[in-house]
Amino acid sequence: RKKMGLLLLLIICQYAINSVKTHSVSKPNIILLMADDLGIGDLGCYGNRTLRTPNIDRLAEEGVTLTQHIAASPLCTPSRAAFLTGRYPIRSGMAAFSRVGVFLFSASSGGLPSEEITFSKLLKQKGYATALIGKWHLGLNCESSNDFCHHPHSHGFDYFYGLPVTNFRDCKPGQGSVFLKGVQKALVIPIQITGIALVSLAIVQYSGLLKVPFQALGYCLLIITISLVVLIFFFYHFRHLNCFLMRDHQIIQQPLSYENLTQRLTKEAMQFIGRNANAPFLLVLSYLHVHTALYASENFKGKSKHGLYGDAVEEMDWSVGQVLDVLEKHNLSDKTLVYFTSDQGAHVEEISSAGEVHGGYNGMYKGGKSTNWEGGIRVPGLLRWPGVVQPGAYIDEPTSNMDIFPTIVKLADAQLPSDRIIDGHDLLPLLQGKVTRSKHEFLFHYCNAYLNAVRWHPGNSESVWKVFFFTPNFSPEDSNGCYDSHVCFCHGGFITRHDPPLLFDLSRDPEEKVPLTPETESRFYEILRVVHQAIDNHTRSLHAVPNQLSWNNLLWKPWLQLCCSSVFQYCYCDYESGGSPVEVQSG
């Protein structure tokens, strides 16, 4: 009888343990922390010895460190689209065929299409409270200034507090402009041509060689004058028109103030966690750090060993610590998966007008943001979930920021969409040590909408082959970036095409220093054959979709402009410091 009783007790205990385990991996809270332009070499857990990042490092100590975690694009907008949808941005039309690969204005009509299914939509359907706090950068309106077709609310987020576009140098007085040099270059030739044409017409008219109607000349001058006035007005008021803070559909600060901005974002995140401590929630905390314009509050300014950039990194680390602390306060640590990453690598070309380095450090990896060299796409990948994922583990398998989609969708007991290709793979088996190989045999690296490189990790080999079909022309030539143009571009005279392609084995040459040749790699042509076959299969899976980053969708459209007062009042308001927010008005 005693034996039977003990056996029964053991069975009950085992059932209880299994129930706890099952419960623990079902519908956890999800916190996704995304930095902006952070280099993989900026964190202590990835080898930095001078920047202090104890809270982010704590995620590594208590969770898994991915050492070959790859952003789906080296630019903000397409990378974030891929992150939210689990799909290459080329599939959603979020990859540009033109030079400009991101949204620049709040009153553009492009954005993440409503047909796309985000993980926030699927988790919301499963009863999750969902919030996006911080940077969005995936569009706002389509046809009117209040249709909000691309707004976070339209993509499954119940709550939004943050910037609809991004953080620009132009948003912070005294930090210079990312547009001025380009606008000057773009306008010089058209203005010269127009001036010469008008002078020539006047001479021809005066000499009597040709009669040009004065009315036509007048209209021509009027159109040119109006265009220049609009252009000057727009760039003069760029900060007011594009740099503003929203809560849901309401503008609460226009233009944006950087004073205690990280503290405000962090407070919003902590309050959201507190409000939803008793139900499953999804929080995406999308930091403005460390995209320029750089900023830091008084508590952090001048405290790091790396100037304002280091101050910003250390302030972001403080914010991560606050989020982890509030989880502990509400006894949610064991019920919450926390993920930390960056949307792409550090922007190495970021140098202030005073000569201070405002870009991050990509460790030993070549290149940076806007390139598919490893420095542009190999990003931090940290995942912590006490009791579920292995603490202190390192995984050196190819993984992608697209993998977050299927991972958390499965954890929320939601179904993956069956009507479209999902390019990401569930990470949990890797994180729990149940498997040792990534499901990503191939990863396709796009430069805007152009296939730039392919990564191949054969199932029977430790090698990670990387094939480049073209590479950016660094300027100056012996540098590590495109300093003359501020970012690298993807076509024409900005690149060098390679035939045969460049081949690297990242397992032996992670710095991409020495391309392999048929003489140094006996399988050279066999590797290229397999890669080309993979490209053929991948290309056949693509379907034509509207280009969200076409010039028509990128350009500023006055009728889409959001304004919390009126254009004549310079679109100014500040409801963060007191007062009640009002619904936005059309410009």
d(CA 403, CA 468): 23
- DSSP sequence for 260-289: THHHHHHHHHHHHHHHTTTS-EEEEEE--T
Q: In angstroms, what CA-CA distances link 188 with 183, 219, 312, 321, 443?
A: 8, 22, 37, 49, 41
Task: Give every CB contact of residue 209 below 8 A, 6+ residues apart in sequence.
Answer: none
Mean pLDDT of 330-343: 98
Residues catalogued as catalytic: 76, 137
Given a cut of 60, whether residue 583 has pLDDT beyond it is: no
Contact 68, 377 (CB under 8 A): no
Given a cut of 70, whether residue 23 has pLDDT beyond it is: no
Which residue did the predictor score with more confidence, 548 or 231? Answer: 548
Tens digit of each residue's pLDDT (9 = 90 or more) over 249-303: 999 999 999 999 999 999 999 999 999 999 999 999 999 999 999 999 999 999 9
Task: Give every CB contact of residue 237 below 8 A, 6+ residues apart in sequence.
Answer: 570, 571
Mean pLDDT of 23-28: 72
Tell me the pLDDT of the chain averaged across its residues.
Answer: 91
- Three-class DSSP category at 586: strand
Q: Calculate what percentage of the chain has a pLDDT beyond 70.
A: 89
What is the torsion angle, in degrees rounded to the nearest 10, for the CA atoms of residue 423, residue 426, residue 427 and residue 429? Answer: -140
C-beta neighbour count of 506 within 10 angstroms: 19
Q: Which amino acid is at 205?
A: Q
Q: Which amino acid is at 25?
A: V
d(CA 55, CA 323): 10
Task: Give every CB contact of residue 107 below 8 A, 6+ residues apart in sequence.
Answer: 140, 141, 145, 241, 556, 557, 558, 559, 560, 561, 562, 587
- pLDDT band, residue 503 (cuts 50/70/90): very high
Helices and strands counted in the chain (H then E): 15, 19
C-beta neighbour count of 552 within 10 angstroms: 11
Residue with tokens 């993920």: 339
- pLDDT band, residue 578 (cuts 50/70/90): low
The reported pLDDT for the residue numbered 15 is 44
Given a cut of 50, whether residue 20 has pLDDT beyond it is: no
Domains annotated for the chain, with CATH where assigned, are 29-167+243-439+546-560 (3.40.720.10), 179-236 (1.10.287.550)
- pLDDT band, residue 13 (cuts 50/70/90): very low
Which residues are 69's β-sheet partners?
A: 379, 399
d(CA 110, CA 102): 10
CA 574 to chain centroid: 27
d(CA 84, CA 436): 26
Burial 182-212 (b: 16+ CB within 10 A, else e): eeeeeeeeeeeebeeeeeeeeeeeeeeeeee
Which residues are 34's β-sheet partners?
A: 286, 341
d(CA 575, CA 437): 51
- Which pair of structure tokens corresponds to residue 21? 């385990």
Helices 261-275 and 307-329: angle between axes, nearest 10 degrees: 20
Contact 110, 89 (CB under 8 A): no
The reported pLDDT for the residue numbered 12 is 47
DSSP one-letter code for 413 = T
Given a cut of 50, whether residue 399 has pLDDT beyond it is: yes
C-beta neighbour count of 550 within 10 angstroms: 15
Tens digit of each residue's pLDDT (9 = 90 or more) over 232-256: 667 778 999 999 999 999 999 999 9
The verdict on pTM exceeding 0.95 is: no
**Measuring CA to CA, which residue among 560, 571, 567, 586 is closest to residue 110?**
560
d(CA 379, CA 166): 19
d(CA 548, CA 558): 18
Lowest-pLDDT range of 32-41, 45-54, 182-191: 182-191
3-state secondary structure 97-146: CCCCCCCCCCCCCCCCCCCCCCHHHHHHHCCCEEEEEEECCCCCCCCCCC
d(CA 15, CA 19): 6
The dihedral through the CA atoms of 108, 110, 115, 121 has a sign that is negative
d(CA 500, CA 30): 45
The reported pLDDT for the residue numbered 566 is 78
d(CA 521, CA 537): 25
Tens digit of each residue's pLDDT (9 = 90 or more) over 460-488: 999 999 999 999 999 999 999 999 999 99
Q: Is residue 283 exposed (0-12), middle (13-18) or buried (19+ Cβ within 10 Å)?
A: buried
- pLDDT band, residue 26 (cuts 50/70/90): confident
Burial 240-271 (b: 16+ CB within 10 A, else e): bbbbbbbbeebbbbbbbebeebbebbbebbbe
